[in-house]
Structure 1
Amino acid sequence: MDKVNPDHYKKGGIETIDYIKAKLTQEQFKGYLTGNVIKYLSRHEQKNGKEDLLKARWYLNRLLAEKPKEKPFIYVCSPLKGDVERNIQKAIGYSRHVYIQGGIPMTPHVNFTTFLDDTIPEDRTAGIQMGMQLLLKCDELWAFGEKISKGMAAEIAAAKNLGLVVRRFNDRYQPLEVCDGGS
């Protein structure tokens, strides 16, 4: 879809519309698009004529192109090393929390430990690499626990670099902080 605004409407090289979408919920973004369709249609005769009609069409096309996502994919980030069995059980609980909150949990350290051994360096490296590939498919990262391990820090940094929202929780699922993608 062509851009609707000139280059000076970009924020950090990103189209403003994409920046706005990242900051709003899906319903809020649909409302934003609908509002712009109405704005440009209602003012075209008094203000910018054809240009406003083109903008109204652009926003309408964008609105029609928005496909609702039923549930977000949430990357579950929590410690694995140390008491591995206990940490896996905790990660299963965190996954359940994500599910209850309406997300689809992606918990690589639970899944991958069924066929990889975290104490074998090659397996650990493979698990980390596959986890990073999985992170690319996710909408958010939720990090659980009071302490951030070295592996968790790498996952959080990667999520922020991808522009994902990162949410932190303690062991009792209470929110600690939310970082917008890229911050």
Structure 2
Amino acid sequence: MDKINPDHYKTGGIETIDFIKAKLTEEQFKGYLAGNVIKYLSRFEHKAGEVDLQKARWYLNRLLIDKKNRPVIYVCSPFRGEVEQNIKRAIGYCRYIYSQGGIPLAPHIIFTTFLDDEIAEERKTGMEMGLELLSKCDELWAFGDRLSEGMEKEIAEAERLGLRVKRFNLRCQPRGVGAGDA
């Protein structure tokens, strides 16, 4: 279970944070986000420690995302197996993110233009560089009907960083949020 954004916050097809945002003015919502950053930072030494710091970061990330016009979204999708089909799908996922107002970043597509995924050391290097880029992103969107081992690592790192994680099926329809919805 995701301690930063538990599953019970995601029931009903809408995240609680999105519901709250819809009910507040832009200024009120910024105040809500900033208030939660302050709340979790002020209590982390006395209550939930690292979890509270991660929650503070999550709210801060949301505050920063809402200040940007276009969030950078990490594309998390399968690569191995049906490589050609998976590349075409990843390009489609990038197009979908673009259509939703985001800036897609698909390291597994970019890096395999010069790294060989079949060579263990190059695959490892590509994964490490992808995780480094993930820390620069605002969100991670995972696509597909199953999670590969590499995708699970990316999602776990995104959650550790306090990033927003969204799940979609092959047709870019929402599936839920977080790694537990495989």
Match of 2:113 in 1: 114
Match of 1:31 in 2: 28
Match of 1:161 in 2: 160
After superposition, the Cα gap between the structure-2 partners of 1:81 and 1:32, relative to the gap in structure 1 and judged at 3 Å, is: closer
Deviation string 1:82-118 (CA, Å, 9 cap, x unpaired) is 1112111110000100000110001001111110110
Seq. identity, %: 53
Superposition CA RMSD, Å: 2.7
After superposition, the Cα gap between the structure-2 partners of 1:174 and 1:122, relative to the gap in structure 1 and judged at 3 Å, is: same
After superposition, the Cα gap between the structure-2 partners of 1:32 and 1:70, relative to the gap in structure 1 and judged at 3 Å, is: closer
Report the AA paired with residue 82 of structure 2. Answer: D
**Aligned equivalents of 2:125, 2:25: Cα separation in 1:** 39
Report the AA paired with residue 143 of structure 2. Answer: F
Deviation at 1:34, TM superposition (A): 6.2
After superposition, the Cα gap between the structure-2 partners of 1:33 and 1:103, relative to the gap in structure 1 and judged at 3 Å, is: closer
State whether structure 2 residue 75 is matched by structure 1 residue 76. yes
State whether structure 2 residue 165 is matched by structure 1 residue 176. no
Q: TM-score, normalised by structure 2?
A: 0.64
**Aligned equivalents of 1:28, 1:133: Cα separation in 2:** 35
Deviation at 1:28, TM superposition (A): 5.5
After superposition, the Cα gap between the structure-2 partners of 1:28 and 1:75, relative to the gap in structure 1 and judged at 3 Å, is: farther
**Aligned equivalents of 2:161, 2:167: Cα separation in 1:** 17
Report the AA paired with residue 28 of structure 2. Answer: G
Report the AA paired with residue 27 of structure 2. Answer: K
For 1:76, what is the secondary structure of its paired residue?
strand
**Aligned equivalents of 2:25, 2:122: Cα separation in 1:** 43
Deviation at 1:33, TM superposition (A): 5.0
Unaligned runs of 5+ in 1: 1-11, 13-22, 36-65
Match of 1:15 in 2: none
**Aligned equivalents of 1:33, 1:165: Cα separation in 2:** 17
Report the AA paired with residue 30 of structure 1. Answer: E
Deviation at 1:32, TM superposition (A): 3.9
Report the AA paired with residue 31 of structure 1. Answer: Q
Deviation at 1:121, TM superposition (A): 0.8
Report the AA paired with residue 67 of structure 2. Answer: P
Report the AA paired with residue 94 of structure 2. Answer: S
Deviation at 1:31, TM superposition (A): 2.1
**Aligned equivalents of 1:101, 1:34: Cα separation in 2:** 25
1:1-183 paired onto structure 2 within 5 Å: 23=17, 30-32=27-29, 68-179=67-178
Deviation at 1:179, TM superposition (A): 3.9
Deviation string 1:45-73 (CA, Å, 9 cap, x unpaired) is xxxxxxxxxxxxxxxxxxxxx79312001
**Aligned equivalents of 1:73, 1:121: Cα separation in 2:** 28
For 1:114, what is the secondary structure of its paired residue?
coil
Unaligned runs of 5+ in 2: 5-16, 33-63
**Aligned equivalents of 1:33, 1:101: Cα separation in 2:** 22
Tell me which of the two structures has the higher relative contact order, counting C-alpha pairs closer than 8 angstroms and 6 or more residues apart.
2
